[in-house]
Structure formats: structure tokens, C-alpha cells
Amino acid sequence: MCSQLFHGQPCPLERPDSWELCRSKGAAGAAWCAPPSRRRAVSCSCAPDSWSRGLERRQLVLSGLACSFAIVLPISVVESCAAAAEVDDDGVKMAMLVDETNAYSFLYPVQLPGKKTSFRWVESRKSERYSSAAPLSPDARQRIVSERLDMINNAVISVSIGPPSSRFLPSKDKKTWAAKDVADCVLSDKSSLKVTTSQRMAESSVLDAHTTDVDGEPYWYYEYIVRKSPTKSAPEPNLFRHNVACTAERDGFLYSLNASTLSKQWESMGPLLQKAVASFHLLPPTEKYVPPYQDPWRFW
């Protein structure tokens, strides 16, 4: 019956006055919509076409879901990183991240030497301009422009940008800045709580700080621990985050790369994170570079 071709609904052409209209539709239309006595068996392409269109729609939906999973799942990040990975002198596979918007680059580990296991890095914050980045403190001076984390190894690597504070760095000549003062300046702006600068500094203890000249520019390196427990349910009272960082200055702003892990994993993870921090480098600006002071009102 013709109703079988319309998902259980009566054929719109199966009416007393529809025969002449069906004849204009060709042999197939005349055969299926003719009175029963005049019907003849012919092939109809309506059902296959409808079925194929439904199949195409399902294929599009499934392909969209597959693309979404490829973006979200950490394995896709690992595979893409492994393709561009390089092996350093210690046998550690390192991949490079290049942020053209903020003009910097750094290496991060993707595979340990002599092991088949890989890091499961997830890009929790994609690279973005300073004006639209997430703030690290209520005054929104220092902001995270890029962040990736490995939940298995409790490792976090992030890049933040912010203006220097005259309280810690009163001189305009950056070559006179001490590494400890730069570290205190950056750490004073790292808190999501509405606390004073002194309270923010009390959360962290700088273990080491030194300055290194890189291509004629000072880079400040420092190591510190955060006294606050990384989780509310941490069973050990001395379970903190161990951090290493590097800061450089350009256009009146401080660019800082910070890498951290839990204190109990520092012995195994620390050397790898130190490699990442040592590789941090400000790149020559290109046409894609957006200085932090440009369009401060723009949030996209």
C-alpha cells in the first residue's frame, strides 16, 4: 500500500481526485497512486531516498561526536604532541608549545626515558590574549593565558602575564631587579581569595632564586612551595605543591611560566618540570602578537 511509504500515514495522493495528479508524476506515481485495479508493480525510489537521507544524518551526527571526543580526550593531545616530540640528552621526549598570540614558547615532557607510558596532558586553558584571560587574583592584575595539566602525575604547567608591582620592583631598569624580588612580586598576585598581599606571600616560601642572561635579557628563575594543602581532604598535613618558575619582562609586563606537582612526587617529577621551565623563551613578535596593553576592554 502507498501508506507504507509514508511512515504509517496515508498517502497524500490517495484521494479520489488525485489520479490525474499522480499521472503527472510519471510511471511510479501512477502505479502506486492508481486505483487498486490499475496498479502495477514498479520500483519506487522514495523509501530508499528517505532511508539514505536518514543514514547520512546519522553519519554526520556520529562524525561530529567523534570529532568532539578527539578534542576532549587526553589521548588525542598525547598523540599530537608525540608527533612533534624531540628526545633530549637524558632520553626524555619533549614537545614544544608555541603561542604566537603572546609570543613565547616552551618544552614540556611527553614520555619518560626507558618507559612506554606517556604523560596525559590536557589543555585546560587554551592560549588566549591577556585581556580575555582568567585572573589569578581579585584585582585581575596577573592572568593565566595558557594552562595544561596531567591528572595522573598531578602536574600543572601554566603561563601567566601581569604588570610588575612598584612595591617589590620600584626601579624601571629591569636589569637591576633581584630574582627574589621578582618571585615575591609574581607570587603576591597569585591568590583566588580576597586576602592582603602579606597573606598571599605567607602562603608561599621561596626556596631558591637566581638570574640568568638569555640573549641579552634577564630571566629570573625561582623555586617555591605553597603551604596550603592542594586538596581539602589531603590526609597528610605536609602535602603541598612544589613549584618551579621562570619570569621574563617585555612591554612593561611580566611573563611567567610555572610548573608544579605534589611534594611527594617532586623527586621523580621535579627534574622534568625544571627542564620545561629552563626552556621558556620569549619569541620575537610576529603579526599575530597581541601585546597585553592592547584592547584591554576586549574579552574574546
| One pLDDT digit (tens) per residue for the chain, 300 residues | 444 444 444 444 444 444 444 444 444 444 444 444 444 444 444 444 554 555 455 554 444 544 443 334 443 333 333 335 677 767 889 999 999 999 999 999 998 877 666 889 999 888 888 776 766 555 557 888 999 999 988 999 999 999 999 999 999 999 999 999 999 999 987 754 444 555 544 567 899 999 999 999 999 999 999 866 545 555 555 678 999 999 999 999 999 999 999 999 999 899 999 999 999 999 999 999 999 887 655 554
State the pLDDT at residue 136.
57
Q: What is the bridge-based pairing of β-strands 155-162 and 143-150?
A: antiparallel
**What is the structure's pLDDT at 70?**
39
pLDDT of amino acid 45:
41
The verdict on pTM exceeding 0.85 is: no
8 Å CB contact between 2 and 8: no
Instruction: Determine the pLDDT at residue 232.
Output: 52
Query: In the numeric block, which cell numbers belong to residue 99?
Result: 603561542
Cα 248 to Cα 285: distance, rounded to the nearest angstrom: 15
Question: Rounded to an integer, what distance in angstroms lies between the CA atom of residue 157 and that of residue 67?
Answer: 26
Q: How much is the pLDDT for 272? A: 93
- Sheet containing 104-111: which strands, arranged edge to edge? 86-87, 93-99, 104-111, 281-282
Residue 116 CB-density burial (10 A; 0-12 exposed, 13-18 middle, 19+ buried): exposed
Does CATH number 3.40.1000.10 belong to domain 93-124+135-298?
A: yes
Tell me what pLDDT residue 296 has: 55
pLDDT of the residue at 110: 92
pLDDT attached to residue 293: 84
Domain residue ranges in the chain = 93-124+135-298
The pLDDT value recorded for residue 182 is 96
pLDDT on residue 244? 97
Output phi, psi for 92, to 5 deg: -90, 130
Rounded distance, CA 187 to CA 190, Å?
5
Name, in order, each residue with C-beta under 8 angstroms of 111's C-beta and a sequence gap of 6 or more: 82, 85, 92, 93, 117, 118, 119
The pLDDT score that the predictor gives to residue 5 is 44
pLDDT score, position 77: 38
Q: Per DSSP, what are the bridge partners of residue 262? A: 241
Cα dihedral: 212, 213, 217, 219 (round 10) = -10
